[in-house]
Structure formats: C-alpha cells, structure tokens
C-alpha cells in the first residue's frame, strides 16, 4: 500500500503522538508499504525509508512548541506524483484539513485518527466556553473519513457520544526492547535525585504543559518525607512549574530519549501521572515496560492500560488525597511494589508496535476493499 500521512506534529518533536507515528512509519515501511509524510517543517527529509514533506509553519501562540503549517498547492502535486492508495490524517487541525480536502478532491479514501483530547484541553487555557464549538468542528471533519481511529475505549465512547461515526480502537504499542527493567542504574538514580539515591524517587515524564496538571504532584511530594521528584521533559509551562515547585526537592531534568529515558524509568520508585485529559498515555506503557510502578488518575484512556492493584494504582482525580494515599501505599510495601513491577512488565510485553501496525494495516486493507467494491 501507498499511504500519505498528514500530521500536525512529527519528528524531531518528542511526544506520545510522535512516538506512535514514528514507530508506525518504521513498521509500515518494514512490512513493504510506502509512506509519504506531510508535517510541519522540522528539518528532516526522510525517516526509515519514508519521505517527509515538511511544510513551513509558525508557532502556535498558546503552545510555541507546536507549529501550524498551512496547506499549500504543492501538496496536490506531491500527492499526484506519489499516487497514494489512501490518506491518513492525524489530529486534523490545520494541515490535516488540507489532507481532508485533497482526499475528497482527488477521490482518495480517507482515514482519520484522534490522539489529543483537545476539547478537554481548552479549560486549562481559559477557553472552556468553546468546548461545544470544537466538538462540532471535530465531528464535521471526522465524519468525512471512512474510518476514525482512537487509542482507547474511553475516547471511542467520547467521540461516539458527540456524534462521530465509524469509530474503532487502534491498539496501544510500546518498544519493549528499548524500555526494560535491566536499564536500572545507580548513576541515573543519583542524577535524578541530585545526589540522594537512597531517597524515594518519584518520576514524571512528558510535556510540561498546563493540561498535564503536574502541579498536582506537589502535595504528594510534600506528604512523603525525604522523597525527591524528577520531571523529565520540557514545555510551555516549565517556568510556572519552577515557581510552583520552588523550595521542594524537585529536579527539572529536561528532555531524555532512547536508553537514557529507559534508564530513568527503570531507576525510579514510582511514575506519577495526574493528567485527566489523556486519550491513552503511551508514556505509562513505557514506564511499565521498564518495570516502573505507575500511579495515575482514573480518567480518560488510562484505565485501558493500568489495572488498579495489579500493575499500578489508579486514584480518583476528584479526591485531593487520592494520589497521596496511592503513593504512600506503593512506597510502604516493598514486596507489593516488586509484584507490581513484574506485572507491569508482563502487561507491556503484550503490546509490541509490530502487532499495533498489523492491526492498522487491517483497517487500511478493509477500507481499500470497500473502495474497490464501491467503484465496481
């Protein structure tokens, strides 16, 4: 198959969407498909054999790390030369709308996927009154697609309840070779605790942005004597978080990737994830693959990954002491913590990227078969 992929974010940016897309592109190419990526300009021209067509863009005012790339006529020429069997638009917002337009105008089957719970983000940026309008826009765009893919059953229910049709779950995936408990390191633990390796180490990995609700970790840190917190990642909310956590034993570690990131996961005592807006939370699977016990909000797509008391702990996000109680329980029982580590790793081993990509290929092939029958 020849797939034209339109995405509002791609490498070299680092986030959960890019993680999924980069692994998907890699495995599609390995399996004999050809992928052409349209994304905001990031300096890359090729990835794992797939050509990247970077479109010039400008920073999003509320989120400068993200670029808005406006569709341009050259996209049509590239599509006509590539001759895709289908177009897949990811989180259609600006560039993705161009993918939708060209799919319709060129008669190419359209797939759409939903990875960021944008309506719920609005309240964190003072725009909650626009949630209803945004749902109507999302419904209008997604209902143009032959199939809409989401990353959890919670998101399937959310989209269907707002009138989005033909919604299916695209299964989760994780690199179980890159993220492994064997990467635990005394040096990494000393680095993340800033020279206090014997102290309980709490870890957060991800964007430092308002919707991630990282400030909700502060009471947990304050409730546990001698605990240290490491925040791995960066983002538009970093300066605010530095003020919020001022005077606490919190280390802003910046971005980490590859085995360095795997070592950070494996070296921590607990991975804390308070966000209530996750469509899935791939970073949780990465932590679990590395054997790091997870404490996360019982919200969004997270329960699709974490089974409370089996491979991690879920807490009620409406309970101000929920995360505190879960973390105290985890840190106070070494035997239970070791069992959670083992169970977390076993759960992650079920979800390799190859299987997730084969499932995606199945969706693609079904769409192409339907298209051929319609044409006949």
In this structure, the dihedral spanned by the alpha carbons of residues 37, 40, 46 and 47, taken in order and rounded to 10 degrees, is -70
CA distance 292 to 264: 9
Q: Give 73's DSSP letter.
A: T
**pLDDT of 375:** 64
Contact 185, 263 (CB under 8 A): yes
- Which pairing describes strands 110-114 and 86-90: parallel, antiparallel, or unpaired? parallel
CA distance 280 to 299: 10
CA distance 319 to 178: 35
pLDDT at 277 over 90: no
Contact 309, 347 (CB under 8 A): no
Q: Comparing 372 with 147, which gets the higher pLDDT? A: 147
3-state secondary structure of 254: strand
pLDDT at 168 over 80: yes
3-state secondary structure of 114: strand
Beta bridge partner(s), residue 38 = 6, 53
Contact 54, 44 (CB under 8 A): yes
CA distance 345 to 323: 22
In this structure, the dihedral spanned by the alpha carbons of residues 134, 137, 141 and 147, taken in order and rounded to 10 degrees, is 50
3-state secondary structure 9-49: CCCCCCCHHHHHHHHHHHHHHHCCCEEEEEEECCCCCEECC
- Which pairing describes strands 50-55 and 63-69: parallel, antiparallel, or unpaired? unpaired
Q: Given pLDDT bands bounded at 50, 70 and 90, which one contains residue 119?
A: low
pLDDT at 376 over 60: no
Q: Which helix (H) or strand (E) holds 282?
A: helix 282-289
pLDDT at 320 over 70: yes
Contact 31, 9 (CB under 8 A): no
pLDDT tens for 48-91 read 999 999 999 888 776 677 788 999 999 999 999 999 999 999 99
- Residue among 195, 275, 170, 199 nearest 233 (CA): 275
Contact 204, 230 (CB under 8 A): yes
Beta bridge partner(s), residue 113 = 90, 149
DSSP H helix total and E strand total for the chain:
14, 16
Q: Show the domains of the chain with their CATH numbers.
A: 2-173+352-375 (3.40.50.2000), 181-348 (3.40.50.2000)
pLDDT at 210 over 80: yes
**pLDDT of 142:** 97
Residues 6+ apart with CB under 8 A from 112: 88, 89, 90, 92, 96, 100, 141, 142, 144, 145, 147, 148, 149
**pLDDT of 281:** 81
pLDDT tens for 295-317 read 999 998 899 889 999 999 999 99
Share of residues in the chain with pLDDT > 70 (%): 96
pLDDT tens for 343-375 read 999 999 999 899 999 999 999 999 999 887 776
pLDDT at 128 over 80: no
Contact 86, 368 (CB under 8 A): yes
């Amino acid at each position: 198959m020849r797939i034209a992929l339109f995405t509002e974010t791609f490498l070299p940016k680092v986030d959960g969407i890019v993680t999924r897309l980069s692994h998907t592109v890699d495995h599609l190419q390995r399996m004999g498909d050809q992928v052409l990526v349209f994304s905001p300009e990031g300096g890359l021209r090729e990835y794992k054999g797939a050509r990247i067509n970077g479109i010039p863009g400008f920073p999003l005012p509320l989120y400068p790390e993200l670029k808005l790339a406006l569709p341009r006529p050259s996209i049509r020429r590239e599509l006509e030369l590539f001759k895709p069997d289908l177009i897949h638009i990811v989180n259609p917002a600006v560039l993705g709308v161009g993918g939708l337009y060209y799919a319709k105008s060129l008669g190419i089957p359209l797939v759409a996927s939903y990875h960021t719970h944008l309506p719920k983000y609005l309240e964190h940026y003072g725009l909650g009154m626009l949630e209803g309008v945004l749902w109507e826009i999302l419904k209008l765009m997604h209902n143009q697609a032959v199939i809409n893919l989401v990353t959890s059953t919670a998101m399937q229910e959310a989209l269907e309840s707002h009138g989005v049709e033909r919604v299916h779950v695209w299964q989760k995936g994780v690199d179980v070779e890159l993220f492994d408990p064997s990467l635990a390191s005394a040096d990494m633990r000393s680095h993340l605790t800033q020279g206090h390796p014997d102290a309980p180490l709490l870890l957060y990995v991800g964007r430092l942005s308002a919707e991630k609700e990282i400030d909700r970790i502060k009471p947990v840190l304050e409730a546990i004597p001698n605990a240290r917190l490491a925040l791995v990642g960066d983002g538009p909310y970093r300066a605010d978080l530095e003020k919020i956590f001022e005077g606490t034993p919190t280390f802003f570690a910046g971005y980490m990737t590859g085995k360095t990131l795997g070592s950070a996961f494996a070296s921590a005592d607990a991975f804390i994830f308070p966000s209530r807006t996750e469509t899935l939370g791939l970073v949780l699977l990465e932590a679990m693959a590395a054997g790091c016990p997870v404490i996360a909000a019982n919200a969004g797509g997270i329960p699709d990954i974490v089974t409370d008391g089996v491979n991690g702990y879920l807490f009620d996000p409406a309970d101000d002491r929920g995360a505190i109680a879960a973390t105290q329980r985890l840190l106070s029982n070494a035997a239970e913590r070791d069992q959670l580590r083992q169970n977390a790793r076993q759960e992650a081993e079920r979800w390799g990227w190859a299987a997730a990509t084969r499932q995606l290929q199945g969706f693609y092939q079904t769409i192409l078969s339907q298209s051929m029958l319609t044409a006949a």
